[in-house]
Amino acid sequence: MTHATHRSLFVASVAVLALVVAACGSSPATSTPSAAASSSPAASIGPSAPPSVAATTPAPAATPVGSVACAVTPQTGQLPSDRLTGMQVLGVPGADIVRFQFSPGSLTPAGPPVGSLDVATPPFTEGASGLPIELDGEQALQVVFRGMSLQNDVGQETYTGEREIRATDPSRSLRHVIVFDESEGQMGWYIGYDGPSCVTLTREGDDVLVAITFGPGS
């Protein structure tokens, strides 16, 4: 697997911060929402959108896909579509956000696309080759998208965003985001982070967000 140039994008977003604070203060979700759980329009952030210092307009309200408060347990939820097209790392006061961006789905999807969040345990390896992956961070998550269309209708690669980002700011919790599997309709990501943070998985329009909210001692 070829890893793209490492970079870190940290932007402040009042709307995303409100989402993180509300999600971390709530109890874990007890059910998985259906595809109709979110009726909000697609978020304005896309793969080609330049980073900004602050949002000028409120983002659409986020609909929980599943959440946990400072103890990671398996979570699953319906994805916006079967086509992942972008990934961003955002830094807001008190939290780091990994935003996965989806485009309109295939005309004939293979099946309902589903995403999951779980704890990742070493050894960390590439899905197809089994080669080792050196994941930065004291703790690790794995996010897996299944039922994905990895190529568009003319055979072009669907996902063209970053496949690896390493964070260098020691004041942040997030340390590393990297693809570990991209085959047979599946795209898997490892997320490494430090500290006793709360982790939430939410959906915002056509985006899926993993929020790592800094806990005590972070």
pLDDT over 90 percentage in the chain: 50
Residues near 110 by beta carbon (within 8 Å), at least 6 away in sequence = 82, 147, 149, 185
Enumerate the domain spans of the chain: 14-213
Kindly report the backbone phi and psi dihedral angles of residue 37, in degrees, each rounded to the nearest multiple of 5, phi listed first. -65, -30
Residue 191, pLDDT > 80, answer yes
CB 129 within 8 A of CB 181: no
Exposed / middle / buried, residue 134 (Cβ in 10 Å: 0-12, 13-18, 19+): exposed
- Write the single-letter amino acid at 91: G
Kindly report the backbone phi and psi dihedral angles of residue 36, in degrees, each rounded to the nearest multiple of 5, phi listed first. -90, 10
Residue-level pLDDT at 156 = 83
Residue 43, pLDDT > 60, answer no
pLDDT in tens, 86-120: 999 999 999 999 999 999 998 888 789 999 999 99
Residue-level pLDDT at 147 = 95
Structure tokens at 64: 């929980």
pLDDT band (50, 70, 90) for residue 128: confident
Give, for 16, the enclosing helix (H) or strand (E): helix 14-24
pTM: 0.68
Go through the chain and tell me how many residues it has. 218
Q: What separation in angstroms does the CA of 202 have from each of 22, 55, 98, 181?
A: 11, 19, 11, 22
pLDDT in tens, 140-170: 999 999 999 998 777 888 998 999 999 989 9
Residue-level pLDDT at 216 = 60
More confident residue, 77 or 38: 77
14-213 topology per CATH: Immunoglobulin-like (2.60.40)
Q: Provide the greatest CA pair distance for the chain.
A: 50
